[in-house]
Each structure stands twice: as C-alpha cells, then as structure tokens.
Structure 1
C-alpha cells in the first residue's frame, strides 16, 4: 500500500537547514510525479500522498502506492498529530492526558476530556490538573445547562483524588441535587449560606494568622452565588448591615491567598460578572468551566484573548 523509507543524516544538524528542506521537497516531488504517472494514480493533493517525519538523527518518508496507501498515510498523520497534542499537554505542565478512565492519581483531579482527541480518535483522554496549583474554579452556565450535575461529578472526582479534603457546601437555592447532604455538618442552604461561608473564612483566617499551611485541604463550593449576594444586599439596606460586603471581601481574600494555604473555592453562577468579585479577584480562578451556549459577551468575559470555536454544545 505504501513505501516506508528511512534516511540517516550525514550531519545531525543538517535537517534544520533551509537548503536541506528544499532538497527534501524537490526529491519528494520528483518521486511522487514519477511514481503516480507510472501507476496512473493521482488522488487528491500531493500532501495526501506522503508524510515526512523528522527525528534527531534520521527521517522517515511514507509514500502511498494506491488509494489504500492514502488511507495508511492518513492514519499515520493522525497518530503523529495525537502524539504532538500529548507532548504539548505534558510540556505545559498544567494538564495530563490519560488513555483510560481509571482512577485519579495522587493529587490530580479530572475535569473532563479532550474534545479534539475524542472526535478524531474516539478515545477518552482525561484532562487533569494539580489540586494544589489549581484549587479555585469558576463554573458558569445558563439555567438548565447542567451546572449542578457537573458540580456533583467534579466533587466526586475531587474526593476520589483526595478523600481527606474538608468540603463546605453552600447551596443557596436548596436544590434536590444536594439534598443527600442533609445532616452533614458543613452543608448550608438558603440564608444559612452566610454562616457557611463565614465559618470557612474563619478557619482560613486562623490558618493564615498561624503562619503555616494546613496539611489537609479545604474546599468551599458555593452554588448560586450572585442570587445569594443580591438577597444579602437587599437585607443589608433594610437592616443597615454590611454582610454582602463581608462575603465579597472574604471570597476575594480566599481567591488571592488561599492557594498557598491549601484553601480552594468553587463559585457556581449563571453569569460571572466582575462586579461579583472585589478587588479584581476574578482573575485568580485557575479553572474556568463554562456549560451550555455562551453569548459572545460571555466568551470575551470568561476567556479573554482565547480563540473559541463557534460550536453549540449539548446539555452537560
């Protein structure tokens, strides 16, 4: 179906020269023209008929002999692209790709799967982050986009990675998704969420004042954070209090200082306006998860400077 040729360099540095690349191009062009004319087979562009892979001391050339050979070349290119993606992930030091579902290893947790690899190779490659370096997360999406289900899944993944994490749950809307936590001492609903976040902040403040990081990790998950703030601001006007400001300042301080003390916070919201986070603290979220269909304004707000595909995702 295809020829596989290996060429060893006379000079290891030769492959990086423009003259060498030009020579390789000319040789390939001549081989292809001669070969395809002989077999009366010329399908698609030249690029679909061959592939060149450069290594430190040699190079490999694959040339299709027939239409089946073109498929061989295509599969080789897919493998090459996949290896390139994995190398890029590892080089970033942020994410680690894994071929199988498996358990989370050590202090990493799974956030999802690489879409490009899933679509091209029908393979689940998990995207994982270090818990200590990526402890804060902003989870956003319109109503019904699957935020609560996603949070339950992610909590499971987090506890799978570190079962000893102390979890504080503030569920302002008192949804059925978290009802199974009734009786858990760090589960707060409705207006009791104020007590929950201040209890978490008090523990954080004591750790910071002691001058040392906690050996065990602490995580606060706050669902429907903006609605809770709006309610507090209304009550503050009636009662001449500043509880909303207390909450915003506490969240801001945890976002800015919590990572080094092993304190993390996940904020769940329908819109992540900057006004919700004091002192520009929104920029301290290491992980941003957006569910459902996002408007252009939301994309620019959440993923400033990133090129996002124009694609509508299904629920969840």
Structure 2
C-alpha cells in the first residue's frame, strides 16, 4: 500500500516516488495522526480504497464520530458509526481472540480501521470510563499480538499522545504518519528529540496532505505528500462496493471459534 509520495520529488519535479507499507506481516499496524484540517480523514479513506481495490486484505470500519466523509458508507454491515462503532471494536477483538486461541493461520490480512481514536476515548472518559479501559485493553492486546496472526489495526487520531494507548502499545505501530504541523509529542512519537526538532520545525508550512512518515525497516523519517483526490465520491462508491461483498465480523468470529470456515 502506498502511504504517500516523497514530498521533495513530488512537489518539486512532479515525480511520484512512493513510500510503501508492506502488508500484512511486515507492516501490520498503521497510525495516522494529524490535527483537524490536515487531510487525515481523506488520506485514511485513500488507504482503505487501496487495500480493498488491490485485494491486500479485508477491512472493517469503526467511525464513532460518524463523519460526513464516511456518510456514503452508512448502511453497510462492515461500517459502523456511533455506539455501533464501539460494538464493532469489541466484535473485532472477539474475532482476534478466536483466531489466536484456535491458532488459525489467516491467509489474508484482516484489519480494523478506527477513525478518530482520541475523540472516542475522550467521550468515553466522561460517559463510560470503564468502557474506555476495556477499549484500550482490547486494542493494546491486538497491537501486541496481532502481527503474527494477520490481524491489524489502522487508527486515525488528532494527537497521538502515549496516554491514548495502554502499556506502551503505541510503540507497536510499524507505520506512523503525522500530517500537518508536528507537536512536541508527535516529534517524540517519530523518534526525534522534541525540543531540538521544534526549534526548526520543518512541518510548520505543511499543507493538507503533507507530513512525516516513519516506516519500519525503511530508514529515517521522511517527508511525504498524499496526492489530491479529485473524485472522492467515486472512491467512496468503490469502497462501499468492496465492503458490501466482504464477510461480516460475526460470521468470521463464529468460523474462527470452530477453527475453520469459508471466510478464513
């Protein structure tokens, strides 16, 4: 999957040199961070579109805030918003547990995409603090153990503070992308000494879709740019087409619980 194109060559020369994630076993978990207006949601949809269109894996989308960017996916059994998004996270965790307990070797990448993780946890902190702890524990376990099982998490978040993840599980992401201006915490997440990086902040002038990426096994942090998507409506239509043809999580969890099944 292409995470973006190398910024200098793309913006200066119009040459597309891709920065790639190798799914699933090398880069299983992906963290996409960025403030509102950084292009994060549209970039996340571009990632989803690539994975589904290229048959790199199966995806389920938990979008707690029910953003307008995802409105065309409402009604698909493999997309959930509001409280249904919380239920989907729990159902994906049950599927993950069944795969692990029965030592199933999934032939395909199976990933849960969670939109605006920080917003979900912030809401839970006020309304249902016990549920917040449960969500953090479940996602922490998937991050720690999902890589060898072909079970992945792709999260978008406005600010990727370590407090948003349980027991240091933020370190389990193999691809970290921060779009837009980096904060001190974002620089630390990318492996920089935050104070030194902030003195000459190269991200201060970034436009939407421009950012930094740290990809396991591919050297240092690099500047990337996400291409402009001229027809997001058509991209969403194609995403919906693929989502509607995937098995649902409940069916997969039942198959995993007995150790086999056509969806596995």
What is the TM-score with the length of structure 2 in the denominator? 0.71
Q: Deviations over 1:14-39 (max 9, x none)?
A: xxxxxxxxxxxxxxxxxxxxxxxxxx
Per the alignment, residue 300 of structure 1 pairs with 187
Per the alignment, residue 133 of structure 2 pairs with 245
Shift of 1:166: 2.2
Per the alignment, residue 170 of structure 2 pairs with 282
Structure 1: which 4+ aligned runs deviate by more than 6 Å?
306-309
Per the alignment, residue 216 of structure 1 pairs with 108
> In the alignment, does 2:50 pair up with 1:157?
yes
Q: Which runs of 5+ in 2 are unaligned?
A: 210-264
Shift of 1:121: 4.4
- Within 2, Cα distance between the matches of 1:137 and 1:219? 10
- Within 2, Cα distance between the matches of 1:121 and 1:228? 40
- Within 1, Cα distance between the matches of 2:11 and 2:121? 40
Q: Deviations over 1:183-237 (max 9, x none)?
A: 2112111122210100100000000000132122211111111221122232235
Shift of 1:117: 3.1
> In the alignment, does 2:112 pair up with 1:197?
no
- Within 2, Cα distance between the matches of 1:173 and 1:191? 9
SS state at 1:183 partner: coil
Per the alignment, residue 92 of structure 1 pairs with none
Shift of 1:147: 0.9
- Superposed counterparts of 1:117-266, under 5 Å: 117-119=9-11, 121-132=13-24, 133-162=26-55, 165-236=57-128, 242-266=130-154
**Greater relative CO (CA pairs within 8 A, separation 6+):** 2
- Within 2, Cα distance between the matches of 1:181 and 1:122? 33
- Within 1, Cα distance between the matches of 2:120 and 2:12? 42
Equivalent residues, number: 202
Shift of 1:259: 1.0
Shift of 1:120: 5.7
Contact 2:64–2:81 (8 Å) recurs in 1: yes
Larger radius of gyration: 1
- Within 2, Cα distance between the matches of 1:299 and 1:245? 23
SS state at 1:113 partner: strand
Change (3 A) 1:313 1:189: same
Contact 2:61–2:112 (8 Å) recurs in 1: yes
- Within 2, Cα distance between the matches of 1:225 and 1:299? 15
- Within 2, Cα distance between the matches of 1:315 and 1:121? 19
- Within 2, Cα distance between the matches of 1:117 and 1:124? 7
> In the alignment, does 2:201 pair up with 1:314?
no
What's the Cα RMSD here? 1.9
- Within 1, Cα distance between the matches of 2:115 and 2:157? 7
Shift of 1:129: 2.1
- Within 1, Cα distance between the matches of 2:14 and 2:59? 35
Shift of 1:160: 2.9
